[in-house]
Amino acid sequence: METNQQKTFSNQNNIPRLPIPTLKETAERYKKSLLPLLSTSDYNRAANAVDEFMKEGGFAEVLQKRLYDVDKSEKYNWIETIWLNKAYLEWRDPSLINVNWWVEFNDPATGILKNPPPKGQISELQIDRAAGFISNLLTFNDMINNELLPPDQTRQGPLCMDQYTKQFGATRIADSPSDRIITTWPATAKHIIVIFKDQIFKVQVLGGGGERVPIKEIKRQLQFVVDQVNNTTELQPPIGLLTGEHRDTWATARKNLESSSAENKISFEAIDTALFGIALDDYPTDTDIDISHLNFFHAYNGRNRWFDKALQIIVANNGRAGVNGEHSPSDAVIPGRMFDYITSNEPAQDPPNVSSIELSPPQYLKWVVDTSIMNTIQQAQINIQAAIDNVDAVLLHYNEYGADWLKNAKISPDAFVQMAIQLAYYKQYREPCATYESASTRGFLHGRTETVRTCSVDTVAFTKAFCDPNVKKDEKISLLTKAIKSHIEYMISATNGCGVDRHLLGLRCQIRDEEEKSKATLFNDPSYVQSMYFKLSSSNMSPGLNFHCGFGAVVPEGYGICYVIHKDKFKLSINSYKKCKETDSTIFRKLLKDSFDELRELLSS
């Protein structure tokens, strides 16, 4: 049977469970990852702490046994619940900037409007494009619901398709002490939410029996929303701002809103169960993509958004479009496949099974608020603006060469970009730092990611040699080749479920409150936190044919670097924080561009 005839989830029963690495292999790989980050004396202390923890009959063996018990009790894999809670739902800082990711689509073939309407108005191109995206997303949802999407595969075998069931109708719910996530599959809701001028509408986009409608009917629904808002004298408060607040603040406000009014509960239910969100912005993006991408990152002021929806398509009134996505239910590569689908099928065509029914009018969501909630919203605006003003985000679209040239040179494109990032960082600071690259573990059931610790003894040797004019070119090439080989080895281990970070997290989560914490010598040693203080956090979003994307830095003194590798170019976003005097995204971009130039010159020689 050919791949295109297979049902979406036909391989699920053949996909293995995620393995639990042995204590020995984790100990050895972990100690190796500490070498480039610690002095000799600090390393010796850390290595002793690891050995004490991992020794035969030691505390790690007790925790490992409990982890095996977790594996037996979990339906799909041992880290799934731990990771969802620790990486996302228990995280209390605002999702905006810290968790959510953004995507900016390529402009349509017709281009964006050179003379868009003034602020406060919308455009026909904007409505056309938004309606087309809605229709194409509904088609993609049909493909998932009816198992018509061909299953993903690599040369190593089939990939788990579970994350596709967590795209539509997915919402993060602010709660205390931990958030919740709602996902549904099949996703059979008939409505989406549309936000315009901070006003939120429940908008039907499918018939009562799930019938598909022409795109012109969806456009009519969007126009209804715009007209309703423009003709309303008393606008609803910007409740969406609360989704960009601290999670505890938002959880308290949400509970107060739900308990104080039946109307509020109805509004929340409409938002939570919506297939996805559409934000129509009544202003154009900047013509400079270095500035325009910020609209999809944070909207410049956090307005006209609902940051808790897993998928939120954003269209500005000049026609430029993108996405802001909540990270909890899935990793960005999955929606990335959807985005390439909906953009490569522009301009959208009516589905073949189109029905001529008329949809019921959009429902204006109303809110009953008191003085306390209004004060919380006002403070949210202040806090969000401060967070946004702290963002230092730039793009690097490098067009000199790409994957084809590297493959001809028999070099892994991903490992090469990682080496360029290491080199740029070393040029800026003359020292290495802990580095995170996301590796997919979708070769296992419900697999998500594992950390590749890019910074290694070999990357340090390479970056130091490269910046030393006394080292010959042949030696530099040899050290680059060795560093790339090291990186690929770690990537293969991580992809096969044998990195160190998820295993150590799993072990740490088995320590019980009543137990003597001093026995956890590995976790008590400062090297544990130090080795996870990722001043470089990176993710490869290739192929990303029709978009570029990004996310915030994960530590105050760090950089968040997202990249897409094409045949003939690289597209990167570089994010840091202005409050940190040691980081500067513009300087890092220049050093990274220089690194790409110089590495090509080195390899060409």
pLDDT at 1: 35
What does the alpha-carbon distance between residue 454 and residue 50 come to, in Å, rounded to a whole number? 20
Predicted confidence (pLDDT) at residue 417 exceeds the cutoff of 80: yes
What does the alpha-carbon distance between residue 470 and residue 475 come to, in Å, rounded to a whole number? 10
CA-closest candidate to residue 434, choices 317, 559, 530: 530
Q: One-letter amino acid identity for 345?
A: N
Predicted confidence (pLDDT) at residue 110 exceeds the cutoff of 50: yes
What are the helix (H) ranges across 182-286? 215-230, 247-260, 262-273
3 state DSSP class of 538: strand
Predicted confidence (pLDDT) at residue 435 exceeds the cutoff of 50: yes
Predicted confidence (pLDDT) at residue 16 exceeds the cutoff of 60: yes
Distances (CA, A) of 33 to 18, 36, 83, 226, 500: 22, 7, 21, 55, 9
319-360 pLDDT per residue, tens: 999 999 999 999 988 999 999 999 999 999 999 989 999 999
241-256 pLDDT per residue, tens: 999 999 999 999 999 9
Q: Are 297 and 324 in contact (CB under 8 A)?
A: yes
Band (pLDDT 50/70/90 cuts) for residue 605 is confident
Predicted confidence (pLDDT) at residue 552 exceeds the cutoff of 70: yes
125-169 pLDDT per residue, tens: 999 999 999 999 999 999 999 999 999 999 989 999 999 999 999
Band (pLDDT 50/70/90 cuts) for residue 3 is very low
Q: Extract the tokens encoding 254.
A: 């949400």
Average pLDDT over residues 186-198: 98
Q: Extract the tokens encoding 313.
A: 């398509």
Predicted confidence (pLDDT) at residue 97 exceeds the cutoff of 90: yes
Give catalytic residues, as residue numbers: 327
Average pLDDT over residues 290-300: 96
Q: One-letter amino acid identity for 82?
A: I
Please state, rounded to an integer, the average pLDDT across all residues of the chain.
96
Average pLDDT over residues 526-547: 96
Predicted confidence (pLDDT) at residue 234 exceeds the cutoff of 50: yes
Predicted confidence (pLDDT) at residue 517 exceeds the cutoff of 90: no
pLDDT at 551: 97
Predicted confidence (pLDDT) at residue 15 exceeds the cutoff of 90: yes
For the chain, which domains are there? 7-84+393-604 (3.30.559.10), 94-149+163-389 (3.30.559.70)
Distances (CA, A) of 452 to 86, 148, 494: 18, 33, 6
